[in-house]
Structure 1
C-alpha cells in the first residue's frame, strides 16, 4: 500500500524559507558581507520562492509526472536530458 501525502503551497513556502535560513546559519552564507548578510538570505529566499512557484505551477499542470518528465514536456528531449543529468550530478 503506497500512501501519498500532498504538500500545500504554504507548507512548501515554509520549507524553502526554513531551508534558506538554516543553510545561512549553519554554512555561514554571507560571512564576508558582515552586516549585509541579511541581503544574501533575502535574495536566496526570493530565488527559492520563484523556483518553488515554478515547480508548483508545473506540478498543477502535470500532476502525474516527475521532475525529468516535466522538463522533457517543457523542452525538447536532448536539452531535457542534459538538464536532468546536471541536476542529478549536482
Structure 2
C-alpha cells in the first residue's frame, strides 16, 4: 500500500529531523556549560540574569488627553465606553480634551 509506505517515509524523516534538533540542542547546551565554567557564574547569578533578561520592559503610561467625570483616556487603543457614550449622545471628542 503506497499510503502506508508514504506515511512510514514521513515518520522516518521526522525522526531524522528530531535527532538533528536534539543534537543541536545538546551542542548548544555544551557551549552554555563551558561558558558558565569559563566565567565562573554561580547558579544564583544565572537565575538573576535569566529573570532580568526575560522580564518585559515596562512602558511608561501615556498621559491622559481626554477626561470626563474623573475618567481619563490617553487616546490610544480602543475608545472606552464612556467616550463612546459621549459621542453617541451627540458630543464631540473635543469636549473631552484636557486643556
Higher relative contact order (CA 8 A, sep 6+): 1
TM-score, normalization by structure 2: 0.35
More strand as a share of residues:
2
Larger-Rg structure:
2
More helix as a share of residues:
1
TM-score, normalization by structure 1: 0.38
